[in-house]
Amino acid sequence: MNAGRRIGFGGPLLSPAEGVAGAAEARARGGAAAAACVSAAAGTAAGGGPGSGAGSGGRGPLSLSRASLMSLAAKAPLSLEILRPLKDLTSFRIGGPAALFARPRDLGELAAALAFARAEGIPHFILGGGANVLFDDQGLSGLVIRLSGKFRETRILDGDPASGEGAGRIHAGAGARLADVAALARRCGRIGFAALKGIPGTVGGALVMNAGAYGTEIGDRAAAVEILGREGGPGPQEGAPASGLAGAARVPRRRIRFFARGSDLEGRGTVLGAELLLGEEAPAEEILRAERETLLARRARLPQEPSAGSFFRNPEGQAAGRLIEECGLKGERVGLAQVSPRHANVIVNLGGATSADVRALADKVRGEVARLRGIELVPEVRVVSCRGEVLP
């Protein structure tokens, strides 16, 4: 999941004055990046941050005519769509078009797409399930990549591959849905993914963000992760990747740092897949009951309007939602974006909200919590500029 900049984990405990200053500084950085997006869309430099694959200058792809974009896409070594609406690919239902959009089906096509982006000097962004991302209203002036084909496959690595009996370890491509992994774990008689069943999104995005719920995180289930290096080749590895993908680096769990809603996989390359441990054996009825309880609990606490789930990370020893509610911000609105009356750490799209609405509301929440409680909240949602950078 490449992006220009990755925010760190957690929020430091600050004095009220320091909290306000920190939040203001973050808002200023985000505002400058948003202004740069407008310039990029107008045809100025479209350079990205580290790992974005951006060039250092030239006209941004979103400034090109449809005919010019079609001509650029025709040069690619794989099929590309132009001006693909990003709002249709995210749970927030917000975002302008991607200048170019690719669905590589295997490692060869993915490597070709990345090489094309580097050669043309345009940013690229790897999009998972779109459940934890907010795109810019301008869209993304570069190449958005969503893995498909072989990257969506799951495979049993031990036990009976037909029945799943005796299986405790599987391989899942980065594009595989967490719901499909949970279903395979159930078929194998394992309960380790029951708590993760209701999480929308894909394995790749879940690993990068260390998605979790109800005491279980996917990092707890990872035996190894396969990565394509930032320059399109493998890095140091131990053992052959279970996927058999030539050029993939296999990184064992002990060499990966997972923490609450994050990992150090960000910036190391593109996650291709993982070997996952399915957890303890359990009767089918117990697994089904655990999955039902998980889904019911999620429906009871989360709003039904389009959102990206929890917007801010929980500061150490605190719950972001409780802090926001104590500051009287439940139900607060900017445009058609609202702090959910049901769950204060969820910002919802009431229908027609813009990225600017959501960012302004998030900045207001951060500023008030810093002012009243001396704590700076850090976004859990990846707020992506039109140049493919993750904003602070």
Among all residues, which ones are annotated catalytic? 261, 310, 380
Query: How far apart are the C-alpha atoms of 177 and 206, rounded to whole Å?
Result: 9
Phi, psi of 336 (to 5 degrees): -105, 20
3-state percent breakdown (helix, strand, coil) of the chain, nearest 5: 35, 20, 45
307 within 8 A of 93, measured Cβ to Cβ? no
- State the Cα–Cα distance between residues 50 and 53, nearest whole angstrom: 7
CB 142 within 8 A of CB 159: no
| Among 242, 244, 195, 240, CA closest to 215 | 195
Q: Which amino acid is at 1?
A: M
Helices (H) and strands (E) in the chain, counts: 8, 19
- Alpha-carbon distances of 248 from 114, 118, 155, 208, 274, rounded to whole Å: 14, 19, 17, 17, 11
Phi-psi region of 173 (alpha: psi -120 to 50; beta: other; left: phi over 0): beta
**Best CA proximity match to 359, nearest among 369, 349, 344, 373:** 349
Report the 3 state secondary structure along 250-316.
Answer: EEEHHHCCEECCEECCCCCCEEEEEEEECCCECCHHHHHHHHHHHHHHHHHHCCCCCEEEECECCCC
Radius of gyration for the alpha carbons in the chain, expressed in angstroms and rounded: 21
Q: And the tokens for 276?
A: 């996952």
* Residue 246 buriedness (CB in 10 A; 0-12 / 13-18 / 19+): exposed
